[in-house]
Amino acid sequence: MASTACLRASGSIASFSATKAASTPSSRTSSFCGVRIAPAAPKSTVRASTRGSARAYGEPKYDINKFKFEPIRESTVAREMTRRYMTDMITHAETDVIVVGAGSAGLSAAYEISKNPNVKVAIIEQSVSPGGGAWLGGQLFSAMIVRKPAQAFLDDIGVPYEEMDTYVVIKHAALFTSTIMSKLLARPNVKLFNAVAAEDLIIRDGAVGGVVTNWSLVSQNHDTQSCMDPNAMESKVVVSSCGHDGPMGATGVKRLKSVGLVDNVPGMKALDMNKAEDAVVALTRMVVPGMIVTGMEVAEIEGAPRMGPTFGAMMISGQKAGHLALQALGLPNAIDGTMVSESGVVPELILADADDTTASA
């Protein structure tokens, strides 16, 4: 029997809900797994945008024919960008979870982990534009195919789709990627460092403890310049979602092999959609202490088939990696059944069994 990655109980593993009273920011409450969490003290006032509201159809807020921006100094812009980025680097020099690779699996993992607002998540992406191959379907076509029951994850993040018999269709893959990124990056416990490459791993006593970073353009030009040393970020858990083999693909597991922490990285097998998606979810796991592998990088280290232009396994593998990270942090998670829903009932989560015959086929 083929293994499945099935989410039930209101269509998601867990829910993170926030309600905001009409009075002050201090009235905001949140819950994670049904447990109420005290809000952090507000550091600044954030004014919500009214764009897209009903006001857009009422009296305009300005005369477009006489529009004029408020004045600003160029140095103010420079200081704002620099101060905030440097603050983020200092904050995440030591963080809870680092997700390497912001493709569909990495974004799904970060989304799931960051539902717990007390977990700091840093995402490292070598490209200027995160999203990996999830901006388009197969052969540069638009539609994204997601096999059931992974559409429950789409329900969780709010992506519309057309329902078919055994699968659903998102009219454009960019709709998924832009939606999950907008939800993820709005969370205060998440920082995306794009145009940044993970050049190496921090490894102590056989355990991964972070990543070695550099600007992507620097990483791509080490052979053309003199020595350009990197930086480093420590973490309690690294989630490697670097995709299949390529110029910067599968770099996490290839590095583990080169330092002798894993014996073999056989590479992915030829395409078999039905076996591939079950196998990728089934074999998503912590491969060495401190490092979880998800997405197509799983196929590389396990020799599993590739699945081609179906994306459900990327989402569910990312979810599973997220809960493995929460488990490693000693926090409520769906892997060991400590995740509870708003009603206090443990949601029914069926994750593919790594010993399943489909996964090993």
Q: Residue ranges of the domains in the chain? A: 95-197+204-329
Q: Is 105 annotated as a binding residue?
A: yes
User: Rounded to whole angstroms, how far apart are CA atoms 242 and 141?
Assistant: 23
Sequence-ordered list of residues with C-beta below 8 angstroms from that of 299, at least 6 positions apart, any chain? 244, 268, 269, 276, 279, 280, 305, 306
Could you tell me the two tokens for 279?
């196998």
Q: 236 and 96 in contact (C-beta within 8 Å)?
A: yes
Q: Is 306 annotated as a binding residue?
A: yes
CA angle 200, 205, 206 (to 5 degrees): 60
3-state helix, strand, coil in the chain (%, to 5): 30, 25, 45
Q: Is 308 annotated as a binding residue?
A: yes
The alpha carbon of 118 is separated from its chain's Cα centroid by a whole number of angstroms, namely 16
Asked whether residue 32 carries a pLDDT value surpassing 80, the answer given is no
Sequence-ordered list of residues with C-beta below 8 angstroms from that of 15, at least 6 positions apart, any chain? 31, 115, 156, 341, 342
Query: The CATH number of 95-197+204-329 is which of 3.40.50.2000, 3.50.50.60, 3.30.70.100, 3.30.70.1290?
Result: 3.50.50.60
Asked whether residue 9 carries a pLDDT value surpassing 50, the answer given is no
Q: Is 337 annotated as a binding residue?
A: no
pLDDT (tens digit per residue) in 296-349: 999 999 999 999 999 999 999 999 999 999 999 999 999 998 876 554 433 444
User: Rounded to whole angstroms, how far apart are CA atoms 129 and 37?
Assistant: 33
The alpha carbon of 226 is separated from its chain's Cα centroid by a whole number of angstroms, namely 34
User: Rounded to whole angstroms, how far apart are CA atoms 267 and 306?
Assistant: 10
Could you tell me the two tokens for 267?
């590479």
Selection from 222, 201, 197, 223 nearest residue 211 by Cα: 201
Reported as type and span, the H/E element at residue 100 is strand 94-100
Selection from 78, 115, 127, 100 nearest residue 237 by Cα: 100
pLDDT (tens digit per residue) in 281-294: 999 999 999 999 99
pLDDT (tens digit per residue) in 103-153: 999 999 999 999 999 999 999 999 999 999 999 999 999 999 999 999 999
Q: Is 106 annotated as a binding residue?
A: no
CA dihedral 128, 287, 176, 5 (to 10 degrees): 170
Could you tell me the two tokens for 220?
């791509």
Local structure of 74: helix, strand or coil: helix
Q: Is 162 annotated as a binding residue?
A: no
AA identity, residue 226: S
Q: Is 267 annotated as a binding residue?
A: no
pLDDT (tens digit per residue) in 34-74: 444 444 444 444 444 445 554 556 677 889 899 999 999 99
- 337 burial type by CB count under 10 A (0-12 exposed, 13-18 middle, 19+ buried): exposed
Beta strands at 35-37 and 29-32: parallel, antiparallel or unpaired: antiparallel
User: Rounded to whole angstroms, how far apart are CA atoms 297 and 280?
Assistant: 9
| Count of beta carbons in the 10 Å neighbourhood of residue 59 | 5
pLDDT (tens digit per residue) in 89-104: 999 999 999 999 999 9
- pLDDT band for 280, please (50, 70, 90 cuts): very high
The single residue listed with the structure tokens 């460092």 is 193
Percent of all residues in the chain with a pLDDT value above 70, rounded to a whole number:
77
Q: What is the DSSP letter of 40?
A: P
pLDDT (tens digit per residue) in 248-277: 678 999 999 999 999 999 999 999 999 999
